[in-house]
Amino acid sequence: MAINIFQTLDVIEALENYIYKIRPTEDMRDKYDITYKIDNQSIIIYEIREHWKNKDEKLEIPIAKTTYVKAQKHWKIFWKQSDLNWHSYKPNPIVQNIKEFVSAIENDKSGCFWG
């Protein structure tokens, strides 16, 4: 089940503010950009990069994911490891709202998200 309209508004506000702060300058965005998408009850932050072999092809590289668990009324945080699978973010696997998710990404001392 998808997140409700109020949660969607919270997601858009928090993620738009976060992405605005970290996006590259406009002149770089055709080569490298950062964005997010809402997929049912999950939000995924990802990079968009030129393919290293074909500059006309774009790669979407997932950075962070959070999924809303309606039964427990919380968000689970995941990061994509080198095995290309999503793994629970051990320093802070569960948050209560989307702003805490953004804060976890910004304050990631273990380098799971941005290296």
Residues 28-57 have a mean pLDDT of 93
- What pLDDT sits at residue 105? 97
Measured between alpha carbons, how far is 21 from 77 in angstroms, rounded to an integer?
21
CB of 44 within 8 A of CB of 59? no
Helix pair angle (5-22, 98-106), 10° resolution: 20
CB of 65 within 8 A of CB of 54? no
- What pLDDT sits at residue 1? 55
| pTM for the whole structure | 0.91
pLDDT over 60 (residue 79): yes
Residues 38-45 have a mean pLDDT of 94
